[in-house]
A and B are shown apart, each in its own frame.
Chain A
Amino acid sequence: MGRGIEMEKTLKRTPLYSSHLALGARLTAFAGWEMPVTYTSIIEEHQAVRSRAGLFDVSHLARFQIRGKGAESFLQRLITTDVRRLVQGRCCYTLLCKEDGGIVDDMMLFRLGEDAFWLVSNAANRAKVWEWLNRWKSTVDQLSLQDISEETIMMAYQGPSTARHLDSLCGETCSLLPRFGCTQTKLERYEVLVARTGYTGEDGFEFVASSTDALPLWNLLLQMGAKPCGLGARDSLRLEAGLLLYGNDIDEGINPYQARLGRLVHLEKGDFVGHQALKTIKEAGIKQCLVGFEMIGRGIARSGHPILASDQEIGRVTSGGYAPSLRRSIGLGYVPTLYTASGTRFLVGVRGRPVEAQVTILPFYRPQAGGQG
Protein backbone atom coordinates (compact mmCIF):
# COMPACT_ATOMS: atom_id res chain seq x y z
CA MET A 1 0.00 0.00 0.00
CA GLY A 2 2.76 2.40 -0.96
CA ARG A 3 2.57 5.86 -2.38
CA GLY A 4 2.71 4.64 -5.94
CA ILE A 5 4.75 5.99 -8.77
CA GLU A 6 7.60 8.40 -8.18
CA MET A 7 7.20 11.29 -10.57
CA GLU A 8 10.01 11.67 -13.05
CA LYS A 9 11.21 15.10 -13.98
CA THR A 10 10.87 14.31 -17.65
CA LEU A 11 7.10 13.79 -17.55
CA LYS A 12 5.15 16.25 -19.67
CA ARG A 13 2.38 18.33 -18.14
CA THR A 14 -0.68 19.73 -19.85
CA PRO A 15 -1.55 23.45 -19.53
CA LEU A 16 -4.20 22.37 -16.99
CA TYR A 17 -1.66 20.85 -14.58
CA SER A 18 -2.01 23.59 -11.96
CA SER A 19 -5.77 23.29 -12.08
CA HIS A 20 -5.53 19.53 -11.51
CA LEU A 21 -3.39 20.12 -8.43
CA ALA A 22 -5.76 22.79 -7.14
CA LEU A 23 -8.65 20.34 -7.55
CA GLY A 24 -6.78 17.79 -5.44
CA ALA A 25 -6.06 15.31 -8.24
CA ARG A 26 -4.01 12.19 -7.70
CA LEU A 27 -1.50 12.11 -10.52
CA THR A 28 0.12 9.25 -12.35
CA ALA A 29 2.59 8.74 -15.16
CA PHE A 30 0.77 7.78 -18.35
CA ALA A 31 2.47 7.55 -21.76
CA GLY A 32 5.08 10.11 -20.72
CA TRP A 33 2.56 12.52 -19.20
CA GLU A 34 1.74 13.38 -15.63
CA MET A 35 -2.03 13.03 -15.65
CA PRO A 36 -4.86 12.91 -13.10
CA VAL A 37 -6.06 9.39 -12.18
CA THR A 38 -8.86 10.70 -10.02
CA TYR A 39 -9.86 13.86 -8.17
CA THR A 40 -12.22 12.37 -5.56
CA SER A 41 -13.23 8.80 -6.34
CA ILE A 42 -13.09 6.83 -9.60
CA ILE A 43 -16.57 5.44 -8.99
CA GLU A 44 -18.06 8.89 -8.28
CA GLU A 45 -16.48 10.26 -11.44
CA HIS A 46 -17.67 7.25 -13.43
CA GLN A 47 -21.25 7.75 -12.15
CA ALA A 48 -21.14 11.50 -12.88
CA VAL A 49 -20.50 10.73 -16.56
CA ARG A 50 -23.24 8.09 -16.68
CA SER A 51 -25.83 10.29 -14.96
CA ARG A 52 -24.90 13.94 -15.70
CA ALA A 53 -21.62 15.35 -16.96
CA GLY A 54 -17.92 14.78 -16.47
CA LEU A 55 -14.93 16.70 -17.79
CA PHE A 56 -11.60 15.11 -18.74
CA ASP A 57 -8.31 16.71 -19.70
CA VAL A 58 -7.21 14.56 -22.65
CA SER A 59 -4.54 16.93 -23.90
CA HIS A 60 -2.04 14.06 -23.77
CA LEU A 61 -3.63 12.58 -26.90
CA ALA A 62 -1.61 13.15 -30.08
CA ARG A 63 -3.09 15.59 -32.62
CA PHE A 64 -1.92 15.87 -36.21
CA GLN A 65 -3.06 18.25 -38.92
CA ILE A 66 -3.03 16.89 -42.47
CA ARG A 67 -3.69 19.46 -45.18
CA GLY A 68 -3.29 20.07 -48.89
CA LYS A 69 -4.56 18.83 -52.22
CA GLY A 70 -2.82 15.52 -51.57
CA ALA A 71 -4.33 14.99 -48.10
CA GLU A 72 -7.22 12.77 -49.18
CA SER A 73 -5.17 10.45 -51.35
CA PHE A 74 -2.46 10.31 -48.68
CA LEU A 75 -4.95 9.20 -46.04
CA GLN A 76 -6.62 6.82 -48.45
CA ARG A 77 -3.24 5.14 -48.84
CA LEU A 78 -2.72 4.76 -45.07
CA ILE A 79 -5.98 4.23 -43.21
CA THR A 80 -8.15 1.13 -43.46
CA THR A 81 -11.48 2.95 -43.92
CA ASP A 82 -12.58 4.74 -47.11
CA VAL A 83 -11.77 8.41 -46.61
CA ARG A 84 -13.97 9.39 -49.58
CA ARG A 85 -16.97 8.31 -47.52
CA LEU A 86 -16.03 10.78 -44.80
CA VAL A 87 -17.79 14.04 -45.64
CA GLN A 88 -16.81 17.46 -44.39
CA GLY A 89 -17.99 18.06 -40.82
CA ARG A 90 -17.79 14.41 -39.86
CA CYS A 91 -15.28 12.24 -38.08
CA CYS A 92 -14.74 8.51 -37.91
CA TYR A 93 -12.90 5.84 -35.97
CA THR A 94 -10.20 4.31 -38.12
CA LEU A 95 -6.95 2.34 -38.12
CA LEU A 96 -3.45 2.46 -39.47
CA CYS A 97 -2.14 -1.01 -40.26
CA LYS A 98 1.30 -2.32 -41.10
CA GLU A 99 2.00 -4.16 -44.35
CA ASP A 100 1.34 -7.45 -42.51
CA GLY A 101 -2.05 -6.23 -41.19
CA GLY A 102 -0.91 -5.56 -37.59
CA ILE A 103 -2.43 -2.44 -36.05
CA VAL A 104 -0.06 0.57 -35.88
CA ASP A 105 -2.65 2.65 -34.06
CA ASP A 106 -6.37 3.25 -33.72
CA MET A 107 -7.49 6.85 -34.08
CA MET A 108 -10.18 9.41 -34.78
CA LEU A 109 -10.07 11.16 -38.15
CA PHE A 110 -11.83 14.52 -38.49
CA ARG A 111 -12.65 16.06 -41.87
CA LEU A 112 -12.79 19.82 -41.51
CA GLY A 113 -12.64 20.64 -45.20
CA GLU A 114 -12.12 19.18 -48.65
CA ASP A 115 -8.35 19.19 -48.03
CA ALA A 116 -8.17 19.58 -44.26
CA PHE A 117 -8.08 16.71 -41.76
CA TRP A 118 -7.12 16.19 -38.12
CA LEU A 119 -5.99 12.90 -36.66
CA VAL A 120 -6.26 12.20 -32.94
CA SER A 121 -4.25 9.18 -31.88
CA ASN A 122 -2.97 7.53 -28.71
CA ALA A 123 -0.50 9.47 -26.55
CA ALA A 124 1.81 6.47 -26.33
CA ASN A 125 1.95 6.24 -30.13
CA ARG A 126 2.62 9.89 -30.91
CA ALA A 127 6.21 9.46 -32.11
CA LYS A 128 5.44 6.21 -33.92
CA VAL A 129 2.46 7.63 -35.81
CA TRP A 130 4.35 10.80 -36.69
CA GLU A 131 7.16 8.66 -38.10
CA TRP A 132 4.66 6.46 -39.95
CA LEU A 133 2.92 9.47 -41.53
CA ASN A 134 6.27 10.92 -42.60
CA ARG A 135 7.46 7.61 -43.97
CA TRP A 136 4.60 7.58 -46.49
CA LYS A 137 4.57 11.32 -47.11
CA SER A 138 6.87 11.18 -50.14
CA THR A 139 4.33 9.09 -52.04
CA VAL A 140 2.03 12.12 -52.36
CA ASP A 141 2.43 15.72 -53.61
CA GLN A 142 0.96 18.86 -52.04
CA LEU A 143 0.76 17.64 -48.50
CA SER A 144 1.40 19.40 -45.23
CA LEU A 145 1.78 17.44 -41.99
CA GLN A 146 1.89 19.12 -38.63
CA ASP A 147 1.99 17.84 -35.07
CA ILE A 148 -0.25 20.28 -33.18
CA SER A 149 -0.31 18.36 -29.87
CA GLU A 150 1.63 20.99 -27.93
CA GLU A 151 -0.02 24.18 -29.18
CA THR A 152 -3.51 22.81 -28.59
CA ILE A 153 -5.35 21.23 -25.69
CA MET A 154 -8.13 18.67 -25.76
CA MET A 155 -10.97 18.07 -23.35
CA ALA A 156 -13.68 15.44 -23.28
CA TYR A 157 -17.00 16.63 -21.91
CA GLN A 158 -19.11 13.51 -21.45
CA GLY A 159 -22.51 12.57 -20.12
CA PRO A 160 -26.25 12.82 -20.82
CA SER A 161 -26.53 16.46 -19.63
CA THR A 162 -23.68 17.87 -21.71
CA ALA A 163 -25.68 18.82 -24.84
CA ARG A 164 -28.21 20.78 -22.81
CA HIS A 165 -25.47 22.53 -20.82
CA LEU A 166 -23.68 23.63 -23.97
CA ASP A 167 -26.76 25.41 -25.36
CA SER A 168 -26.08 28.28 -22.98
CA LEU A 169 -22.51 28.64 -24.26
CA CYS A 170 -22.92 28.31 -28.01
CA GLY A 171 -26.60 28.29 -28.88
CA GLU A 172 -27.62 24.97 -30.40
CA THR A 173 -24.41 24.46 -32.36
CA CYS A 174 -23.35 21.55 -30.18
CA SER A 175 -26.71 20.01 -29.35
CA LEU A 176 -27.65 19.90 -33.05
CA LEU A 177 -24.42 18.13 -34.02
CA PRO A 178 -25.08 14.52 -34.99
CA ARG A 179 -23.09 11.72 -33.37
CA PHE A 180 -19.63 11.83 -35.06
CA GLY A 181 -20.31 15.34 -36.36
CA CYS A 182 -17.63 18.00 -35.96
CA THR A 183 -17.47 21.73 -36.51
CA GLN A 184 -15.58 24.86 -35.57
CA THR A 185 -17.44 27.10 -33.16
CA LYS A 186 -16.99 29.36 -30.16
CA LEU A 187 -17.76 28.58 -26.54
CA GLU A 188 -18.35 32.09 -25.31
CA ARG A 189 -15.33 33.83 -26.88
CA TYR A 190 -13.06 30.79 -27.17
CA GLU A 191 -12.49 29.20 -30.57
CA VAL A 192 -12.90 25.41 -30.44
CA LEU A 193 -13.16 22.44 -32.70
CA VAL A 194 -16.04 20.44 -31.29
CA ALA A 195 -16.96 16.85 -32.12
CA ARG A 196 -19.80 14.75 -30.77
CA THR A 197 -17.52 11.89 -29.85
CA GLY A 198 -15.96 10.29 -26.81
CA TYR A 199 -14.49 7.23 -25.16
CA THR A 200 -17.12 6.60 -22.52
CA GLY A 201 -20.12 5.00 -24.26
CA GLU A 202 -22.17 8.03 -23.25
CA ASP A 203 -23.35 11.04 -25.23
CA GLY A 204 -20.73 13.76 -25.14
CA PHE A 205 -18.36 16.12 -26.88
CA GLU A 206 -14.65 16.55 -27.38
CA PHE A 207 -13.05 19.95 -27.80
CA VAL A 208 -9.73 20.98 -29.25
CA ALA A 209 -8.67 24.56 -28.53
CA SER A 210 -5.60 26.73 -28.33
CA SER A 211 -3.37 25.98 -25.32
CA THR A 212 -3.67 29.60 -24.28
CA ASP A 213 -7.43 29.15 -23.74
CA ALA A 214 -7.04 25.94 -21.74
CA LEU A 215 -7.73 27.30 -18.27
CA PRO A 216 -10.69 29.61 -19.02
CA LEU A 217 -12.36 26.88 -21.12
CA TRP A 218 -11.81 24.25 -18.44
CA ASN A 219 -13.24 26.56 -15.78
CA LEU A 220 -16.16 27.51 -18.00
CA LEU A 221 -17.17 23.85 -18.34
CA LEU A 222 -16.63 23.14 -14.65
CA GLN A 223 -18.95 26.06 -13.87
CA MET A 224 -21.63 24.33 -15.94
CA GLY A 225 -21.62 21.66 -13.25
CA ALA A 226 -19.28 19.11 -14.84
CA LYS A 227 -17.34 16.91 -12.44
CA PRO A 228 -13.62 16.75 -13.19
CA CYS A 229 -12.75 13.16 -14.07
CA GLY A 230 -9.41 11.36 -14.32
CA LEU A 231 -7.91 8.49 -16.27
CA GLY A 232 -9.31 5.96 -13.79
CA ALA A 233 -12.91 6.71 -14.74
CA ARG A 234 -11.89 7.08 -18.39
CA ASP A 235 -10.68 3.48 -18.27
CA SER A 236 -13.69 2.01 -16.43
CA LEU A 237 -16.11 3.89 -18.73
CA ARG A 238 -14.42 2.77 -21.94
CA LEU A 239 -14.22 -0.83 -20.75
CA GLU A 240 -17.96 -0.93 -19.99
CA ALA A 241 -18.56 0.52 -23.45
CA GLY A 242 -16.42 -2.27 -24.97
CA LEU A 243 -13.96 0.26 -26.43
CA LEU A 244 -10.42 -0.96 -26.94
CA LEU A 245 -7.23 0.44 -25.44
CA TYR A 246 -4.12 0.39 -27.61
CA GLY A 247 -1.23 -1.31 -25.86
CA ASN A 248 -3.64 -3.49 -23.88
CA ASP A 249 -6.30 -4.85 -26.24
CA ILE A 250 -4.64 -4.14 -29.57
CA ASP A 251 -1.09 -3.71 -30.81
CA GLU A 252 1.09 -4.45 -33.83
CA GLY A 253 0.75 -8.19 -33.24
CA ILE A 254 -3.05 -8.07 -33.58
CA ASN A 255 -4.98 -7.57 -36.81
CA PRO A 256 -8.37 -5.83 -37.04
CA TYR A 257 -10.28 -9.06 -37.63
CA GLN A 258 -8.96 -10.57 -34.40
CA ALA A 259 -9.89 -7.38 -32.57
CA ARG A 260 -13.42 -7.46 -34.03
CA LEU A 261 -12.71 -4.26 -35.93
CA GLY A 262 -13.29 -5.84 -39.33
CA ARG A 263 -15.96 -3.21 -40.00
CA LEU A 264 -13.12 -0.68 -40.23
CA VAL A 265 -11.36 -2.58 -43.02
CA HIS A 266 -12.78 -1.36 -46.34
CA LEU A 267 -11.04 -3.77 -48.70
CA GLU A 268 -13.28 -2.65 -51.57
CA LYS A 269 -11.88 0.90 -51.52
CA GLY A 270 -8.71 -0.20 -53.34
CA ASP A 271 -5.10 -0.54 -52.30
CA PHE A 272 -3.80 0.73 -48.97
CA VAL A 273 -0.98 -0.25 -46.64
CA GLY A 274 -1.83 -3.70 -45.32
CA HIS A 275 -4.56 -4.35 -47.91
CA GLN A 276 -3.03 -7.51 -49.35
CA ALA A 277 -2.33 -9.06 -45.95
CA LEU A 278 -5.76 -8.17 -44.56
CA LYS A 279 -7.48 -9.63 -47.63
CA THR A 280 -5.56 -12.87 -47.12
CA ILE A 281 -6.34 -12.92 -43.38
CA LYS A 282 -10.02 -12.34 -44.03
CA GLU A 283 -10.19 -15.16 -46.59
CA ALA A 284 -8.26 -17.60 -44.41
CA GLY A 285 -10.23 -16.76 -41.26
CA ILE A 286 -8.81 -16.11 -37.82
CA LYS A 287 -7.99 -18.53 -35.01
CA GLN A 288 -7.99 -16.16 -32.03
CA CYS A 289 -10.51 -13.44 -31.39
CA LEU A 290 -11.34 -10.75 -28.84
CA VAL A 291 -14.23 -11.51 -26.48
CA GLY A 292 -15.96 -9.70 -23.67
CA PHE A 293 -16.61 -11.70 -20.53
CA GLU A 294 -18.06 -11.25 -17.09
CA MET A 295 -16.89 -12.97 -13.95
CA ILE A 296 -19.29 -15.49 -12.44
CA GLY A 297 -17.10 -16.49 -9.51
CA ARG A 298 -15.70 -14.06 -6.96
CA GLY A 299 -12.68 -12.20 -8.30
CA ILE A 300 -11.59 -9.43 -10.58
CA ALA A 301 -9.84 -10.23 -13.86
CA ARG A 302 -6.91 -7.95 -14.69
CA SER A 303 -4.79 -7.45 -17.78
CA GLY A 304 -2.29 -10.29 -18.14
CA HIS A 305 -4.28 -12.94 -16.27
CA PRO A 306 -4.43 -16.27 -18.15
CA ILE A 307 -7.70 -17.60 -19.58
CA LEU A 308 -8.02 -21.34 -18.97
CA ALA A 309 -10.16 -24.19 -20.27
CA SER A 310 -9.68 -27.95 -19.73
CA ASP A 311 -6.51 -27.24 -17.73
CA GLN A 312 -4.96 -25.44 -20.71
CA GLU A 313 -4.14 -21.80 -21.11
CA ILE A 314 -6.25 -20.73 -24.09
CA GLY A 315 -5.67 -16.99 -23.96
CA ARG A 316 -4.97 -13.87 -21.94
CA VAL A 317 -7.00 -11.09 -20.40
CA THR A 318 -6.09 -7.78 -22.08
CA SER A 319 -8.32 -5.47 -19.98
CA GLY A 320 -10.31 -6.19 -16.88
CA GLY A 321 -11.79 -4.56 -13.86
CA TYR A 322 -14.80 -3.72 -11.81
CA ALA A 323 -17.65 -2.14 -13.81
CA PRO A 324 -19.33 0.45 -11.56
CA SER A 325 -22.47 0.78 -13.72
CA LEU A 326 -23.00 -2.97 -13.87
CA ARG A 327 -21.78 -3.71 -10.36
CA ARG A 328 -19.80 -6.69 -11.53
CA SER A 329 -16.38 -7.58 -12.81
CA ILE A 330 -15.83 -7.63 -16.58
CA GLY A 331 -12.98 -8.08 -19.00
CA LEU A 332 -11.70 -8.37 -22.55
CA GLY A 333 -9.33 -11.02 -23.81
CA TYR A 334 -8.29 -13.16 -26.74
CA VAL A 335 -9.42 -16.78 -27.00
CA PRO A 336 -9.70 -19.37 -29.79
CA THR A 337 -12.79 -18.69 -31.95
CA LEU A 338 -14.32 -21.90 -30.56
CA TYR A 339 -14.81 -20.05 -27.25
CA THR A 340 -16.35 -16.82 -28.52
CA ALA A 341 -20.09 -17.61 -28.47
CA SER A 342 -22.07 -15.71 -25.87
CA GLY A 343 -22.60 -17.89 -22.80
CA THR A 344 -19.41 -19.91 -23.28
CA ARG A 345 -17.70 -20.57 -19.95
CA PHE A 346 -14.00 -20.54 -19.17
CA LEU A 347 -11.76 -19.81 -16.19
CA VAL A 348 -9.62 -16.79 -15.48
CA GLY A 349 -6.50 -17.38 -13.38
CA VAL A 350 -6.80 -14.53 -10.87
CA ARG A 351 -3.34 -14.53 -9.25
CA GLY A 352 -3.22 -18.32 -9.39
CA ARG A 353 -6.83 -18.88 -8.39
CA PRO A 354 -9.15 -20.15 -11.18
CA VAL A 355 -12.39 -18.14 -11.24
CA GLU A 356 -15.30 -18.91 -13.56
CA ALA A 357 -16.22 -16.42 -16.28
CA GLN A 358 -18.74 -16.28 -19.10
CA VAL A 359 -18.57 -14.73 -22.57
CA THR A 360 -21.03 -11.85 -23.00
CA ILE A 361 -22.17 -9.64 -25.84
CA LEU A 362 -20.26 -6.38 -26.37
CA PRO A 363 -20.67 -3.64 -25.36
CA PHE A 364 -21.23 -4.51 -21.71
CA TYR A 365 -23.03 -1.23 -21.18
CA ARG A 366 -25.41 0.76 -23.39
CA PRO A 367 -26.75 4.20 -22.45
CA GLN A 368 -30.38 4.64 -21.40
CA ALA A 369 -32.94 4.98 -24.21
CA GLY A 370 -33.02 8.52 -25.54
CA GLY A 371 -29.27 8.94 -25.18
CA GLN A 372 -27.04 9.43 -28.18
CA GLY A 373 -24.60 6.63 -27.40
Chain B
Amino acid sequence: MNPQNFRYSKEHEWVGPVSNGVALIGITEYAEKELGDIVFLDLPPVGSQIQQYKKLGEVESVKAVSDICSPVSGVVLEINPSVMEHPELVNTEPYVGGWLLKVTLADLKELDNLMTAEEYEAWLTQVSTK
Protein backbone atom coordinates (compact mmCIF):
# COMPACT_ATOMS: atom_id res chain seq x y z
CA MET B 1 0.00 0.00 0.00
CA ASN B 2 1.16 3.49 -0.83
CA PRO B 3 1.06 5.70 2.27
CA GLN B 4 -1.84 8.17 2.26
CA ASN B 5 0.20 11.13 3.48
CA PHE B 6 2.87 10.87 0.72
CA ARG B 7 2.84 12.47 -2.74
CA TYR B 8 3.77 10.61 -5.93
CA SER B 9 5.27 11.42 -9.33
CA LYS B 10 4.60 9.77 -12.68
CA GLU B 11 8.23 8.61 -12.63
CA HIS B 12 7.32 6.54 -9.57
CA GLU B 13 9.11 8.51 -6.89
CA TRP B 14 7.53 9.55 -3.62
CA VAL B 15 8.04 12.45 -1.26
CA GLY B 16 7.33 11.62 2.36
CA PRO B 17 5.66 13.42 5.23
CA VAL B 18 6.64 17.08 5.26
CA SER B 19 7.52 18.65 8.54
CA ASN B 20 9.18 22.07 8.92
CA GLY B 21 9.85 22.10 5.19
CA VAL B 22 11.84 18.84 5.33
CA ALA B 23 10.78 15.54 3.72
CA LEU B 24 12.07 12.14 2.64
CA ILE B 25 12.31 10.96 -0.98
CA GLY B 26 12.16 7.42 -2.27
CA ILE B 27 10.92 5.21 -5.08
CA THR B 28 7.53 3.52 -5.05
CA GLU B 29 6.67 -0.11 -4.54
CA TYR B 30 5.55 -0.30 -8.17
CA ALA B 31 8.97 0.97 -9.36
CA GLU B 32 10.88 -1.30 -7.01
CA LYS B 33 8.91 -4.34 -8.25
CA GLU B 34 9.42 -3.36 -11.89
CA LEU B 35 13.17 -3.06 -11.36
CA GLY B 36 13.58 -6.28 -9.39
CA ASP B 37 16.46 -6.85 -6.99
CA ILE B 38 18.14 -3.49 -6.40
CA VAL B 39 21.90 -3.79 -5.98
CA PHE B 40 23.28 -0.28 -6.41
CA LEU B 41 22.33 3.35 -5.83
CA ASP B 42 24.06 6.46 -7.07
CA LEU B 43 22.81 9.48 -5.10
CA PRO B 44 23.93 13.13 -4.94
CA PRO B 45 26.06 14.21 -1.96
CA VAL B 46 24.73 16.20 0.99
CA GLY B 47 24.36 19.85 0.04
CA SER B 48 23.44 19.17 -3.61
CA GLN B 49 20.62 21.10 -5.22
CA ILE B 50 17.94 18.92 -6.73
CA GLN B 51 15.16 19.99 -9.08
CA GLN B 52 11.64 18.73 -9.51
CA TYR B 53 11.39 16.21 -12.40
CA LYS B 54 15.16 16.38 -13.06
CA LYS B 55 17.44 13.38 -12.71
CA LEU B 56 18.95 13.18 -9.24
CA GLY B 57 20.70 9.82 -9.45
CA GLU B 58 20.52 6.23 -10.59
CA VAL B 59 19.12 3.01 -9.26
CA GLU B 60 20.46 -0.25 -10.57
CA SER B 61 18.95 -3.71 -10.30
CA VAL B 62 20.54 -7.02 -11.28
CA LYS B 63 19.24 -6.55 -14.80
CA ALA B 64 18.98 -2.83 -15.50
CA VAL B 65 19.82 0.72 -14.59
CA SER B 66 17.21 3.47 -14.27
CA ASP B 67 17.31 7.20 -13.61
CA ILE B 68 15.80 8.53 -10.40
CA CYS B 69 13.94 11.79 -11.07
CA SER B 70 13.37 14.07 -8.14
CA PRO B 71 9.72 14.61 -7.19
CA VAL B 72 10.58 18.01 -5.65
CA SER B 73 13.18 20.79 -5.74
CA GLY B 74 15.41 21.39 -2.74
CA VAL B 75 18.73 20.68 -1.05
CA VAL B 76 20.00 17.28 0.09
CA LEU B 77 20.25 17.21 3.90
CA GLU B 78 21.05 13.56 4.41
CA ILE B 79 21.59 10.33 2.46
CA ASN B 80 20.14 7.18 3.99
CA PRO B 81 23.32 5.36 5.11
CA SER B 82 21.50 2.01 5.48
CA VAL B 83 20.30 2.00 1.91
CA MET B 84 23.78 2.71 0.53
CA GLU B 85 25.05 -0.31 2.45
CA HIS B 86 21.96 -2.47 1.75
CA PRO B 87 20.23 -1.33 -1.45
CA GLU B 88 17.84 -4.31 -1.12
CA LEU B 89 16.06 -2.22 1.58
CA VAL B 90 14.42 -0.39 -1.33
CA ASN B 91 12.79 -3.71 -2.30
CA THR B 92 11.83 -4.84 1.17
CA GLU B 93 10.74 -1.48 2.66
CA PRO B 94 10.27 1.06 -0.14
CA TYR B 95 8.36 3.49 2.13
CA VAL B 96 10.17 2.95 5.42
CA GLY B 97 13.80 1.80 5.72
CA GLY B 98 14.30 2.19 1.96
CA TRP B 99 14.06 5.97 1.79
CA LEU B 100 16.86 7.55 -0.25
CA LEU B 101 17.31 11.23 0.65
CA LYS B 102 16.19 13.71 3.27
CA VAL B 103 15.71 17.10 1.62
CA THR B 104 14.82 20.69 2.48
CA LEU B 105 12.01 21.61 0.11
CA ALA B 106 12.52 24.75 -1.96
CA ASP B 107 8.84 25.32 -2.65
CA LEU B 108 5.98 23.62 -0.83
CA LYS B 109 3.65 24.52 -3.72
CA GLU B 110 5.46 21.97 -5.88
CA LEU B 111 3.68 19.25 -3.89
CA ASP B 112 0.49 20.25 -5.68
CA ASN B 113 2.03 19.08 -8.97
CA LEU B 114 2.22 15.54 -7.55
CA MET B 115 -0.41 12.85 -7.14
CA THR B 116 -2.08 11.69 -3.94
CA ALA B 117 -1.91 7.97 -3.10
CA GLU B 118 -5.39 7.51 -4.53
CA GLU B 119 -4.57 9.38 -7.75
CA TYR B 120 -1.31 7.48 -8.13
CA GLU B 121 -3.02 4.11 -7.75
CA ALA B 122 -5.70 5.06 -10.27
CA TRP B 123 -2.98 6.16 -12.66
CA LEU B 124 -1.05 2.90 -12.12
CA THR B 125 -4.02 0.80 -13.18
CA GLN B 126 -4.08 2.79 -16.42
CA VAL B 127 -0.36 2.40 -17.08
CA SER B 128 -0.19 -1.28 -16.26
CA THR B 129 -3.18 -2.32 -18.38
CA LYS B 130 -2.01 -0.40 -21.44
Contacts and interface: CB of A to CB of B under 8 A. Distances in A.
Nearest to B13: A1
Contacts of A298: 40, 42
Given A3-B34, A42-B37, A322-B40, A351 B65 contact: yes
Contacts of A302: 65
Interface in B49-64: 58, 60-63
Contact of B12 (A1, A42, A44, A300): A1
B92 to A, nearest CB: 11
B62 A236 contact: yes
A232 B12 contact: no
Interface in B70-87: none
Contacts of B11: 1
B128 A3 contact: yes
B40 A299 contact: yes
A326 to B, nearest CB: 12
Interface in A288-303: 298-300, 302
Contact of B39 (A2, A3, A38, A322): A322
Contacts of A42: 36-37, 61-63
B28 to A, nearest CB: 9
Contacts of B91: 41
Interface string A305-336: 00000000000000001101000010000000
Interface in A1-46: 1-4, 26, 37-38, 41-44
B70 to A, nearest CB: 14
B1 interface: no
A175 B12 CA distance: 49
Contact of A43 (B34, B35, B37, B66): B37
A232 B128 CA distance: 22
Interface in B14-29: 27
A299 B39 CA distance: 10
A100 B122 CA distance: 59
Contacts of A26: 36
B82 to A, nearest CB: 16
Contacts, number: 54
A3 B129 CA distance: 10
A329 B61 CA distance: 12
What is the size category of the interface that chain A forms with chain B? Answer: 20 to 34
22 contacts: A26-B36, A41-B36, A41-B91, A42-B36, A42-B37, A42-B61, A43-B39, A43-B62, A232-B62, A232-B63, A236-B62, A298-B40, A299-B42, A300-B39, A300-B60, A321-B63, A322-B39, A324-B37, A324-B62, A329-B40, A351-B58, A351-B65
B40 A37 contact: no
Given A1-B11, A3-B127, A300-B60, A38 B65 contact: no
B31 interface: yes
B26 to A, nearest CB: 13
Contacts of A2: 34
Contacts of A321: 62-63
A300 B40 contact: yes
Given A37-B63, A236-B62, A302-B65, A1 B37 contact: no
A43 B62 CA distance: 8
A3 B130 contact: yes
Contacts of A41: 36-37, 91
Interface string A203-238: 000000000000000000000000000001000100
Contacts of B35: 1
Interface string B95-130: 000000000000000000000000000000001101
Nearest to B88: A43
B6 to A, nearest CB: 17
Given A26-B36, A43-B39, A232-B36, 20 more contacts: A1-B12, A1-B27, A3-B34, A3-B127, A4-B34, A37-B63, A43-B62, A298-B42, A299-B40, A299-B42, A300-B39, A300-B60, A321-B62, A322-B39, A322-B60, A322-B62, A324-B37, A324-B62, A351-B58, A351-B65
